[in-house]
Amino acid sequence: MIGVAPARSAAPIYSLSFWEVTAASGVVLGFLLGLVCVYLTMPQSDYSFLKLPRNLEDLQILRDNLEIYTSDYTVQVLVGYCLVYVFMQTFMIPGTVFMSLLAGALFGVVKGMALVVSTATAGASSCYFLSKLIGRPLLFSLWPDKLVFFQDQVARRKDRLLNYMLFLRLTPTLPNTFINVASPIVDVPYHIFFLATFIGLIPAAFVTVRAGLALGELKSLGDLYDFSSMATLCLIGVLSVTPTLISKKKA
């Protein structure tokens, strides 16, 4: 008699309501309107260099041109930078590492760090709330297995959830994009998400912003994270999750 393997249960199907789509479209239009307002306050010039950098060459061209405007139009450059960074984080657009390098190149380490950490946290928060509204269908279609894994880990670490979220931010266990989108779906409280994001992004932001000071010397993005940098980030990640491991042994 031929055995029949049990059929796998189909993934739940979710659809977006009219109001959810309208709200998401409103967010996009809000960002675009903000960028248009910044553009209108800038002097007449050729802005063909303004595009999202996709490689180091694009980034150097953008840096060279923006340096001309940073001193006289500081507010416009800052507002435009923040809007673009938050927009990219909100809608999971790759390339924020180039924006972090740009912050170091234009504003130095201290101001660049403050700018990157604040905008990255704001963008992650924006993604968190947008995902809470419309993210469930995207998650179940793109990362069903990761979502199950993440949900199980969060449920097991309710008492030490901040430590676990810090560990995720500091190590490459799960992609940051996935964490931003999945956290509200698996019931990570926002205050935990915010603190873990704000604190956890600081070490990597420091490495990237500092590298932006010597942008011309970078040959590839691989030069950003040498062995010592990666070892330091992993060590901090292990330390952040140590209280969770100790509490489990005592239980």
What would the pLDDT profile of 126-173 be if each residue is shown by its tens digit?
999 999 988 888 888 888 899 999 999 999 988 889 989 988 988 878
Q: Is the pLDDT of residue 118 over 60?
A: yes
Model confidence at 84, pLDDT cuts 50, 70, 90, reads very high
- Residues 130 and 88: beta-carbon distance below 8 Å: no
Q: So what's the pLDDT on residue 243?
A: 58
Q: How confident is the model at residue 174 (pLDDT cuts 50, 70, 90)?
A: confident
Comparing CA positions, the residue from 103, 113, 104, 94 lying closest to residue 203 is: 113
Across the chain, what does the average pLDDT equal? 83
Segment 88-101 shows an average pLDDT of: 92
Question: What is the pLDDT, as a whole number, of residue 20?
Answer: 73
Instruction: Answer yes or no: are the C-beta atoms of 53 and 59 closer than 8 Å.
Output: yes
pLDDT in the model for residue 134: 86
pLDDT of residue 9: 47
Query: Whole-angstrom Cα distance, residue 146 to residue 112?
Result: 33
Distance, in Å, from the CA atom of 123 to the CA atom of 30, rounded to the nearest integer, reads 14
**What pLDDT score does 4 carry?**
47
Categorize the per-residue pLDDT at 230 as very low, low, confident or very high, splitting at 50, 70 and 90.
low
Whole-angstrom distance, CA of residue 90 vs CA of residue 85: 9
